[in-house]
Amino acid sequence: MDFELPEEVKLLKDTVKRFVDEELIPIEMKTIEGPSLKPEYREALTRKTKDLGLWLLTTPKEYGGQGLSVLELAGFWEEVSRTVALPSRSHQIFGPSVSPILFRLSPEMKERYLFPVLRGEKKSTLAQSEPGAGSDPGMMRTSAVRDGDHYIINGYKIWIPFADAATFYQVVAVTDKEKGSRGGLSVFLVDADTPGITITGRTEHMMGDVTFEIAFDDVRVPVANRVGEEGDGMKHAQGFINTNRIHQACHGLGVAQRCLEMIASHTQQRVTFGRPVADRQAAQFTMTDLYMKHQLAQLLVYRTAWRLDKGIAARHEPYMAKLYCTELGFEAADRCLQFHGAMGLSKEMPIEQLWRRSRSYMITGGPVEIMRTVIARHIYKLF
C-alpha cells in the first residue's frame, strides 16, 4: 500500500498553494461583488491562472483542457478552498464551467453547445431541483411529453444558480412517470430564449450567491436536444454528482486547513492573563482534535478520488467524504470564530465568510441527513 500522493498531484497542490497564498489571500476581502468577482480582479487573476497552466482543468485534453483526474482535482479544490477570494459557487478565473454532460453530446450538438461554452460565448446551468423534489428526484414533477419531433416541457424549477446569465439550461424532466428516478428521467438542453420560459423568482443566500426560480409552460424542445437515450437522466448525472461531492468535501478540507493556520497564529500571539492562549489546554485540545480529524478527512477524500479514477465501485464513499468533511469544515470555522472573539464576527476578517460557506455545504449538494441515510443502508448490507 502506498499512501503518498503522486508527484503530479503534489506539484499541482504546491503551485495552487503558492497562488492562493501570494495572489488570493492578500486581496480576499475586496474581490467579490455579489455572486461574482469584480471585473478588475477577474481579468488580472485570469491572466495569471492561464500563465500557470490552471485553465480549463476539468476539460478533457482533446478539447484543449488539462483533463485532470479526480485525484488531481481534489488537490486543486482543497488548496483553492482555503481562501474566500472567489465566489462560493464559481471559480471563474480558472475557465468556464463545463458540465460533464456536454462532453457526451453528438458532434452536431457539441458544435451548438459545448464548443461555444468552451470559447466563453455561451453559459449553461443545471435545472434539476423542484419544490418538494430536492434530495428525492423521484418526486420530480416537471414533465417532458413526446410530440412528434419535439418534447413539450411543463414544470417549475428552483434553486437554479446563474439562471439569469445562462444562454441554455440542462433541464431534468420526467419522461416516464411509472419509472420515476429509475429510468424515467431525461436531460434536455433548452435554449433560455425558448418561448414559454420565465424566470419567476430570485433568492439571495447566506453564502453570498443567488439562485433563481424558472417556470416552463408548454416549452417545445427538439428531440435532438435530449441528451442520450430517453430515461438516461440519472445515469448522466451520477458521475457529475459523485465528483461534485468530492468537490464539496475538499471545500471542508480547505476551510479546516485555513482555520488551523489562523487558530495557530492567533493563539500564539494572543496573550491573556500573562500567558499566550496557545499555552492553555482549551487551545491545545482544539488544535489536536481538528488536526487529527483533518488528517483522517484527507485520507478519506484522496482514497475516494483514487477509487473513482480507477473505476472501482465507490457508491457510498463519496457520501462519507461529503458528510465528514463538510461537518469538519463547519466545526473548524466555528472554533476559529470563537477563538477570535468579536473580531471573528467582523467583516474585516474572512472567518465569518468561511463559517457561512461551510454551513451552506451541509445542505447543498445533498444534506448531511441524506448522506447518513445512504451510508446506513450500505452498513446494514454488511451485517
Q: For residues 205 and 351, which has the higher predicted lDDT (pLDDT)? A: 351
Average pLDDT, the chain: 92
Categorize the per-residue pLDDT at 238 as very low, low, confident or very high, splitting at 50, 70 and 90: low
Domain extents in the chain: 7-102, 124-226, 234-382
Q: Give me the pLDDT at residue 348, please.
A: 92
Contact at 8 Å (CB) between 76 and 57?
Answer: yes
**CA dist., res. 383 & res. 379, Å (int):** 7
| CATH tag, 7-102 | 1.10.540.10
As a whole number, mean pLDDT of residues 44-49 equals 94
**CA dist., res. 7 & res. 138, Å (int):** 43
As a whole number, mean pLDDT of residues 296-323 equals 93
What own/partner pairs with CB < 8 Å and gap ≥ 24 does 222-225 have? 222/149, 222/150, 223/146, 223/149, 223/150, 223/151, 224/106, 224/108, 224/109, 225/109, 225/188, 225/189, 225/190
Whether 237 has a pLDDT exceeding 80, the answer reads no
Dig out the grid coordinates for 221 from the structure: 424542445
Encode pLDDT of 265-304 as tens digits: 999 999 999 999 999 999 999 999 999 999 999 999 999 9
As a whole number, mean pLDDT of residues 231-240 equals 76
Categorize the per-residue pLDDT at 178 as very low, low, confident or very high, splitting at 50, 70 and 90: confident
| CATH tag, 124-226 | 2.40.110.10
Q: Give me the pLDDT at residue 284, please.
A: 97
| 3-class DSSP assignment, residue 79 | helix
State pTM to two decimals. 0.92
**CA dist., res. 133 & res. 360, Å (int):** 18
Dig out the grid coordinates for 24 from the structure: 488570493
Q: What is the DSSP letter of 110?
A: I
Encode pLDDT of 118-151 as tens digits: 998 999 999 999 998 777 777 899 999 999 999 9
Whether 261 has a pLDDT exceeding 90, the answer reads yes
Q: Beta strand pairing status for 124-127 and 168-174? A: parallel
What separation in angstroms does the CA of 56 have from each of 61, 91, 95, 98, 161? 9, 11, 5, 9, 20
Whether 193 has a pLDDT exceeding 90, the answer reads yes
| CATH tag, 234-382 | 1.20.140.10
Q: Give me the pLDDT at residue 256, please.
A: 98
For residue 172, what are the β-bridge partners?
187
Dig out the grid coordinates for 354 from the structure: 468561511
Encode pLDDT of 47-99 as tens digits: 999 999 999 999 999 999 999 999 999 999 999 999 999 987 677 899 988 88
Q: How far apart are the first and last CA of the chain?
A: 27
Contact at 8 Å (CB) between 255 and 82?
Answer: yes
Whether 239 has a pLDDT exceeding 70, the answer reads no
Percentage of the residues of the chain whose pLDDT score is greater than 90: 78
As a whole number, mean pLDDT of residues 17-23 equals 97
Tell me, what amino acid is at 100?
P
